[in-house]
Chain A
Amino acid sequence: MQKQQDHHRIHIESSENERESWGLPEEVTSVEEMVRLYREGKISEDEFRRFRLQHGMYGSRLNKDYTMVRIKVPAGILYPDQLIRLAKLCEDFSIGSVHVTTRQNIQMHWVYLDDAPAVEKGLVEVGLTSREACGNTVRNVVCSPFAGICRNEPFDVTPYAKALARFFLRNPMCQNLPRKFKFNFACCDEHSYARIADVGLVPVVREEEVSDGNASRKVRGFRVYIGGGLGPASYLAELLEDFTPEDMLLPTCMAVIRLFDRLGDREKVHRNRMRYLVHDMGFERFRELVLKERRIVLMTRSVLANLYIREDKVDAPHTDDIDLVELKPFNAPDGFHRWVKSNVMDQKQKGYAIVFIPLPAGDVTARQLRALASICREFSHEGCVVTTPYQGFALRWVMKSRLVELYKRLSETGLANYGALSIASVVGCTSTTSCNLAITNAHRLAKEIRSRLIELGLDMDDALRDSTIKISGCPNSCGQHMIATIGFFGAAVRMNNTLTPAYNMLLGGKVGKESALGRIVARVPAKRIIDVILRLIDVYRKERLDGEGFASWIDRVLEGNGTNIKSVDDLKPIIEEASKLPSPEEDPESYVDYGSDSRFIVKTARGECAA
């Protein structure tokens, strides 16, 4: 049932919960056809590349026989049968595990190109798609994993995220943009990734007077941020206007995309994201154009251009609330409290919790996916899991009274790792494990840091809880290093006359209300990164003010207001000292990258984002 609200071009459906189906069977046929034509040499490399990127197939590192299949997961929502299907598909056609990305996608790596149609078929059968997961189009619509359960949110943005994803998927207006285009939905300022996307949306509710002046009503809307994004040059998105009512959401987004389509640079491959356009013309000018374009959209758009907002109801019985801090069940197994501390948070709904399932650099096995599917069916009252921007899963609507039981179940398949919302939850892009652009193995490094921090129990340290570590294998920022408290991106540096895997180190990045991009402070050899991180934590512990968190201390130093270590200049010698390498003869290991047993060399191939 659809009800059209007054003049609002927003449809609210109150029908039974119905699952989105993103895939289309005919796309299996077209993938099959195009792969065949390509293999038979009947279409060119360029033509095929364009097609496959539009269908979520990205080239694999230095090997044209394989492809990465990126599955678009709008708002990160996955159902148990989909998890089971992903498990089977990755065993049959990939490497027996899948990778969860920072933009909530699922990636299957090292898929033999000729098997791609079989993978597509398997996805479509359970309502999934890889369509427009790559290429110059609207990429996966990201949505906060807290949306719907967040204590600070004015309303649940999930239905809006899904509606926008549905509107733009396969929409002719965004099939050939100058470059990819990203939407991020936040639930609130605190959990917001809104300022690192082309369009970021933070929900707000405004009281509006009704015409007779005596009554008021609440209007849903958004703060719309425009022109952000991470990459070799990163920018934070700027606020378009104080309040964009919900009925203006679609016209605003359409206006921005139309402008980008028309004015965006299609020539300079490395400067054609919308943020460059906005930056070059100046935000004020761009804002004027957007508002003008929006008026044109409103006057000219088709009656079909609507968002269908479908609000799903969660069927969760009333249950007594339990204080997570006080939660000390008599039957708690080893590690339970540590797990609760870092992985479990209250929902706004009494008695229920959101449980994070961190994965080492986003990797999860087929066996774990199957286990997660059955755990989800048993424990989540909303019946699905969501992927997180920290490369993991979250299970929501879990009754707090069942946490012990859940912990045991997750432990059985290695899914109860500690440190989800702590400094130990290290993000690392896939880098040299599969990506053509990678210089270093950021993926393995992230896993190494994570296990070391957990081993040292740093996930338990509340003072480090405001901090994050994120790593990319190249400047392109898939690992979101620019928004980390400590960020790294891969580089090759000649040290002691030897080419050495290294990272540029950034400090002070963050998302949320006070979003900021990290500042490059040093260059550190890969094999000294862990030492440098630990050294920095040491210094912090000596230097901190009462109750000051690690990230806050770093900010203070970056501002030049440190205590003994006054500024970055005082910090640099300490980092340099911890970065020192013995000669290659003394310690050849230090000059070899993680995951490698041979001399470090840089091998890259053309990136395909721009194709």
Chain B
Amino acid sequence: MMKARRRMYPVLVEPEELLNISSKDVVLIDVRKEEDYIHGHIPDAVSLPLARVLESMDPKQLHRLFRSVGVDDASKYAIVYDDTFGALAARVAWALEYIGHERVSLLSITYGRWVSLGYAVEKGRGKGKGIEQISTVDDNDDTGIDISADYDILATYDYIQAIIEGIKQLQQGKETNINSSSSSNSSIKKGDGDGKVLLDVRERLNYLDHHIPYAMNIPWKAFAGEDRILKSVDEINSLLSYRKISRSDEVIVYCGSVGTLSGLSYYALRLAGYTRVRLYARSLKEWRSLNLPVEGFKNAHYWDLSAE
């Protein structure tokens, strides 16, 4: 049984708050591409492109990587931002949590918004922290650090397979007394999954086309605010309550590729006070590559409704 997690640090940090934090323990991480960082970034930020973080799921290696940009002990407070809806930042923040680092927050706005609000930016390679150091990591310097990963926030394909099996068995047991008003076969309601909810956060048409069996769909944009990377707690909670997803549920989020958009959704749930949330970090990309079963709705030509 996974333990309920309470956050010590807020999910979101406001720009004003960021400007007022003067602690030397803060590490502001810019996860955009390096050339974008050089072109302009928030003052004092270090560069750690998402691609670097995605290179490995090995906790030891991730640990080294984060240490190289200054998150070198548990007292450091990481604040992460991007310019891609907060999704890349979320994936990086999640990786930090995954290696057991609890002091991490997301900047509540994107870099683009930061610039348009007229906040200061800095050009060039910054304070030398980060970029050079990443490439000169000492591979043997892991002594004395706890590098066990937090597997409670991760979902793997076999973990999901087990959930699917569980739901199947539950549904077979219930088959005799199905509620006639809900004829759904493509989504699970609260309770059906023994308190476990598979949540696909891709866009609706992709979901209709195919998804992991029993997954329900809330497009990630439903969690995203107009000018902020996430909606308010109340708005997110009302969405989730319409879907009958409760705080006691364990929610497993996934998206189409590498856990970025689902990473953002992971933090939407955490912001709303959900404590049992897992990210299927390798998401559908892995699921499809393993030829694991998917289901979809084939009785309509919904793709032709798309104006794209």
Contact = CB atoms under 8 A, between A and B. Distances in A.
Interface of A: 32, 35, 38-39, 41, 44-45, 48, 60-65, 88, 91-97, 99, 109-110, 112, 114-115, 117-118, 359-360, 363-365, 368, 430-434, 441, 443-444, 447, 593-596, 603
Contact of B226 (A88, A431, A441): A88
Contact of B300 (A62, A99, A594): A62
Interface string B232-253: 0000001100111000000000
B227 to A, nearest CB: 11
B183 A64 contact: yes
Contacts of A93: 219, 222
B239 to A, nearest CB: 6
B297 interface: yes
17 contacts: A41-B179, A41-B181, A41-B182, A62-B299, A63-B299, A88-B221, A95-B302, A96-B308, A112-B217, A118-B242, A363-B305, A365-B307, A431-B301, A593-B301, A594-B304, A595-B303, A596-B301
A337 to B, nearest CB: 26
B180 interface: yes
Query: What 7 pairs across the A-B complex have the smallest Cβ distances?
Result: A363-B307, A92-B222, A595-B301, A97-B307, A444-B304, A433-B305, A62-B299
Interface residues of B, number: 34
A238 to B, nearest CB: 37
A246 B306 CA distance: 43
Nearest to B183: A64
Given A114-B244, A595-B304, 4 more contacts: A92-B222, A368-B307, A430-B305, A433-B303
Nearest to B308: A365
* Dominant SS among interface residues on chain A: mixed
A41 B184 CA distance: 13
Contacts of A432: 300-301
Q: Which of B182, B219, B307, B308 neighbours the largest number of chain A CB atoms within 10 Å of its CB?
A: B307
Contacts of A115: 222, 239, 242-243
Contacts of A112: 217, 243
A595 B242 CA distance: 33
Interface in B271-308: 297, 299-308
B186 interface: yes
Given A96-B204, A595-B301, A45 B181 contact: yes
Contacts of A360: 307
Contacts of A433: 300-305
A45 B179 CA distance: 12
A112 B189 CA distance: 13
B205 interface: yes
A432 B305 CA distance: 9
B307 A434 contact: no
Given A363-B306, A365-B307, A94 B204 contact: yes
Contact of A110 (B183, B208, B244, B299): B208
A45 B219 CA distance: 27
Q: Which of B183, B205, B302 neighbours the largest number of chain A CB atoms within 10 Å of its CB?
A: B302
Contacts of B208: 110
Nearest to A121: B238
A110 B204 contact: yes
B195 to A, nearest CB: 18
A97 B243 CA distance: 22
A434 B305 contact: yes
Interface in B152-191: 179-184, 186-187, 189
